[in-house]
Amino acid sequence: MDYAGLFRLDGKVALVIGGGSGIGQAAARALAAHGAHVAVADVRPESAAETVALITKAGGHAEARSVDVTREDDVRRLFDDVAARHASLDVAVTTPGINVRKPILDYTAEELERVLAVNLKGTFYVLREAGRWMAEQGRGSIIAFASIRAQTVEPGQGVYAATKAGIVLLCRTLAAELGPRGVRVNAVAPGVVETPLTSQIKSHPEWYRAYAERSALGRWASADEMAGPVVFLASEAASFVTGSLLFADGGWTAVDGRFTPPL
């Protein structure tokens, strides 16, 4: 066993969707730093290009792609584009997510559809396309981002939580279906992370401070702190890990952080 090389991804091809910013960008840069060639896809092509520039500046290899995960045909086109340039796909990471923080009774049908379209439907399209490719080649690692809200509730996050719980069960089901084909599928559950998605909270000092205090570590995470779980699940270090939900929440769920936000 080459223990020193367990986390290396030399010669591997990785696709990171949502790689233009936040957790997706950190994941893309970390995968490249460990030797993978990374296809960085984002709904904002210019953001994907910025991530690619950061990777190449650090000596890595990457290419930029655009994708709108709410459009089934667009997701399929993305995988076709990657397949046209690469014979295999070893790692697929999907991070896009949105949140409309509102009590359920105040949710509109349009808001419901928007959150479902990005978080649940979009993740499903990615899981399906990555799963088809990897099942055919007989190997691969798929990583989807869920949230602590997949298992813990908070006023104003019912729809978001439902989509994240759905992502976990999609991953577990796909892991069961594709395990015999050599494909691993896992989900990551971050706690509170400094990303554009949490900008609403940062504008409320009391809310921001309360979230920090409700984790065991007493602080928020940076997006870079989500890179380690991605590299682990992508690599041979996790060769016997599938169907799992990996918490990277600073101990939030361990100490049962509970807060009612100022909605």
Between CA 25 and CA 20 the distance in angstroms is: 5
Residues 95, 146: Cα–Cα separation, whole Å: 8
Residue whose entry in the numeric block shows the structure tokens 């509970």:
258
**Rounded to an integer, what distance in angstroms lies between the CA atom of residue 82 and that of residue 27?**
18
Measure the CA–CA gap between 235 and 2, rounded to whole angstroms. Answer: 13
Task: Find out whether 146 and 168 touch, Cβ atoms under 8 Å.
Answer: yes
* Active-site choice (3, 107, 125, 160): 160
Q: Give the residue carrying structure tokens 């995968």.
A: 31
Strand-by-strand arrangement of the 13-17 sheet? 61-66, 37-42, 13-17, 91-94, 140-145, 183-190, 245-248
Contact present, 94 and 128 (Cβ < 8 Å): no
What is the greatest pairwise CA distance in the chain?
A: 56
Buried b (16+ CB within 10 A) or exposed e, 128-140: bbbbebbbeeeeb
* Cα-based torsion angle of the residue sequence 173, 179, 182, 187 in order, rounded to the nearest 10 degrees: 40
CA distances from 8 to 11, 178, 235 (A): 9, 24, 7
Task: Indicate if 3 belongs to the active site.
Answer: no
* Phi and psi based region of residue 252 (left: phi greater than 0; alpha: psi -120 to 50; beta: remaining): alpha
Residue 145's DSSP bridge partners are: 188
> What residues are labeled active site?
160
